[in-house]
Homo-oligomer: A and B are copies of this chain.
Amino acid sequence: MLSAFEVVAEPNRRRILDVLREGRCPVGELSHRLGLTQPTVSKHLRVLKDARLVDVEQDAQRRLYRLRPEPLVELDAWLAPYRELWSQRLDALERHLTTMADDPPASARPSPPPRRKR
């Protein structure tokens, strides 16, 4: 069984989750909307189900898949300390730009601070 990290590493699986974020959805519609064959979708859904990222509800012949976001908490938890790091960096950049606010901008978008010699 794959970890949430590995499950979400696969682009098509992310796309499936993105669709399911809008609400439950049968396999056929996923297959159609994503341009993937039905077996491919079913296999990805199997992986997602094993990782508890989706669950299924049967509706006649169809199966409605529904998102279960909880396992993504693990991913978010791993990410959290890094989030602080890059926001520190962005804050620093912002402060820098504010300090430099009297400089005429060299371009429309703020360019990074002058490259320091390393």
Using a CB–CB cutoff of 8 Å, the interface residues on chain A facing chain B are 3, 5-6, 8-9, 11, 14, 17, 21, 57-59, 67, 69-70, 72-73, 75-76, 78-79, 81-83, 85-86, 89, 118
Question: Dominant SS at the A interface?
Answer: helix
In angstroms, Cα B3 to Cα A113, docked, is 26
Each complex incorporates copies of this chain amounting to 2
Q: How far is the CB of A79 from chain B (nearest CB, A)?
A: 6
When distances are taken between beta carbons in the complex, the residues of chain B under 8 Å from A118 are 57-59
CB distance from A9 to the nearest CB of B (A): 4
Interchain CB contact under 8 A, A69 and B85: yes
A69 to chain B, nearest CB (A): 4
Selected from B3, B9, B78, the residue in CB contact (under 8 A) with A6 is B9
Enumerate chain B residues within 8 angstroms of A83, measured Cβ to Cβ: 72, 76
CB distance from A68 to the nearest CB of B (A): 9
The 6 A-B residue pairs with the shortest CB-CB distance in the complex, in nearest-first order: A9-B9, A69-B86, A69-B85, A69-B82, A6-B9, A5-B9
